[in-house]
Chains A and B, each alone.
Chain A
């Protein structure tokens, strides 16, 4: 089954404790991206990657890092999480010119 998976689905952490949210797709898509969804703000893109070893900032990259060492994986790293990063996070992938497929989301609470 073609899908985008994210782990964990729910995470509670404390300020400053580094965390990683994993994202994996099995569709051999070149393009992957991370979004955060906040009430009243819709989705905002954090980072995107057009292929292995190629990443670029989206609209709200501050406080986040990403890496793309393999085509299928695109982890999101919060080196020092803060409460304003409490949000619902979505990973997405697509073929060049194709439609986006979204993961199920990761709900993060930073205390």
Chain B
């Protein structure tokens, strides 16, 4: 079956530091890939997505590139802010209507 593995947190950074959160996946076929963000006390929000190999999703300074050769979709941001503190989930959707989520990575950004 499908699976998503993302790095364990928490990831703790200072403001303006570079962020990478690793995500790798296992799936049959050609899934769509997603990053969601969950702020404290809220539901998940879609951050960015990519639907085919070599696509780059981007939003709010975050980027991730769909790498089929390495089955990866790593999340990056060049300069994090305190307001980016949240839990980030990598997810994939294949042909079924049952998405697969990673376990989530908590990001803490200090001033």
Contacts and interface: CB of A to CB of B under 8 A. Distances in A.
Interface of A: 4, 31, 33, 40-45, 48, 50, 56, 58-59, 90, 92, 99-100, 102-105
B3 to A, nearest CB: 11
Contacts of A33: 97
Given A48-B98, A50-B97, A59-B98, A40 B103 contact: yes
Chain B, interface residues (CB within 8 Å), range: 10 to 19
Given A31-B97, A50-B97, A99-B49, A105 B102 contact: no
Interface of B: 4, 41-46, 49, 89, 91, 97-99, 101-104
Contact of B43 (A31, A56, A105): A105
A contact patch SS: strand
A43 B89 contact: yes
Contacts of B98: 45, 48, 58-59
24 contacts: A4-B43, A33-B97, A41-B103, A42-B101, A42-B104, A43-B44, A43-B89, A43-B91, A43-B101, A44-B101, A45-B98, A56-B97, A59-B98, A90-B43, A92-B44, A99-B46, A99-B49, A100-B44, A103-B43, A104-B42, A104-B43, A105-B41, A105-B42, A105-B43
